[in-house]
Each structure stands twice: as C-alpha cells, then as structure tokens.
Chains A and B, each alone.
Chain A
Amino acid sequence: QKEVEQDPGPLSVPEGAIVSLNCTYSNSAFQYFMWYRQYSRKGPELLMYTYSSGNKEDGRFTAQVDKSSKYISLFIRDSQPSDSATYLCAMTTLTAGNNRKLIWGLGTSLAVNP
C-alpha cells in the first residue's frame, strides 16, 4: 500500500460549489497534516496545517483529520474560479526531526468553472 494516496482527478465543479478533496495514508505515525495549493508553473503554497486529529477552519477552507480512519479532507466552500489549481496533501511524523521531510500525495487537479 502506498504511504499517501490521493486521487489526481481532474475534478471539475461549477462556481459556488462545495469541493471535497481527500487523502488516505497508511503510516499511523503521521501527526502533521498539510494542504498545499499549486498553481500552474508555481511552487506549492501552504493552505492549511493541522496537528493530529480534528478540524481547522480558515475562511472558505476547512481541513479535517480522522486518524482512526487514516483519512484527511480539505473542503472549499463557495468555490471560485481562482481556486482552480492542484491541491496536494502532505504529512509527516512527530519525530521526523525536521518536518520538511514531508510525504506528499500526487495532487488533485481542480477546475472551478464560472
């Protein structure tokens, strides 16, 4: 089983829709969970950062972590065309020593249509 799995899509939604993006993982030692957004020809940009289980909300974005199911989600409310990008999940263990040794998902390509 791959360490982090993420459906690459593409996902196409109308403007205003609620978008749900997901990753599953196999390593129960992962404690830090992140969502990055990557626009074409740009580097990844951190969107949300969650430690352990629970929810975190930031504006139109909500990140959820369910450690019992090894499943994380990113919800985007009232999606906008400017949200069109690739969304990557990434995670790391508490004892990695340096959380930049992130394990990444493949990324999901999202298109929000006006």
Chain B
Amino acid sequence: EPEVTQTPSHQVTQMGQEVILRCVPISNHLYFYWYRQILGQKVEFLVSFYNNEISEKSEIFDDQFSVERPDGSNFTLKIRSTKLEDSAMYFCASSEGSYTEAFFGQGTRLTVV
C-alpha cells in the first residue's frame, strides 16, 4: 500500500541552526501539506502546496519557514534559525485532490536544544 514517508524520524538540532525535514508523498498525489504537533497540544496546519507553489499557509508559517519540491518526489520543510519552541512533531501529508483524503506520514520529531 502506498504511503507517505518522512525522514529522519527524529532530529536533534541546536538553537539557531537550520533544519530540513524531508517527505516523500504518495506518487500520484498533487497536494502536499505540513502540520505540526507540539507535545500535549493540538495538531496545527502549517502550509499547503500545489503546482509548485504555496496555496495556503497559517500564521505560524512565517519567514522562518519555507517549503520546496526540489525534484519530482521529495517535499521538504526548511526551518531557518530554529528556536526552542519549534520543538514538535512535524507531519507531512499528501492528497490526490484538495478535497480528497490526506494521507499522513509517521512524522519527524524535532528537538531543538
């Protein structure tokens, strides 16, 4: 069964460093998303991406964040100059259409120290 895969499963980084979280969406999907879940808090939408551009983003997704589809298979989330409060589980998801089911990856746990 096709699935969304995320790497790494756990990333530890020092405050102020840049991190890149990687995702391989399901191959025939056209819409890609990033969510995050801070420990003990709700899942939060970060950004959606379609046709090589951001289609929607939340207030959380400020200039510190960027997304890219560098090739035909990967979808990345870059966090510049990480802060302690960026520590969270980051989920990538993809869907065929904007109103069809989104499939989630298993998440990358980011720990900023």
Contact = CB atoms under 8 A, between A and B. Distances in A.
Interface string A96-110: 011111101111000
15 contacts: A4-B42, A42-B107, A43-B4, A43-B91, A43-B107, A46-B102, A49-B101, A88-B43, A98-B31, A98-B56, A99-B98, A100-B102, A101-B56, A104-B42, A104-B44
B4 A100 contact: no
Interface of B: 4, 31, 33, 41-45, 48, 55-56, 58, 91, 93, 95, 98-99, 101-107
A109 to B, nearest CB: 12
Nearest to A96: B56
Nearest to A105: B42
Contacts, number: 54
Given A98-B48, A98-B55, A42 B42 contact: no
The A contact surface, by secondary structure, is loop
A44 interface: yes
Contacts of B41: 106
Nearest to A97: B56
B34 to A, nearest CB: 10
Contact of A42 (B45, B98, B106): B106
A100 B104 CA distance: 12
B97 to A, nearest CB: 10
A101 B106 contact: no
Q: Which of A100, A102, A105 has the most CB of B within 10 A?
A: A100
A60 interface: no
Nearest to B102: A100
A82 B58 CA distance: 34
A104 B48 CA distance: 16
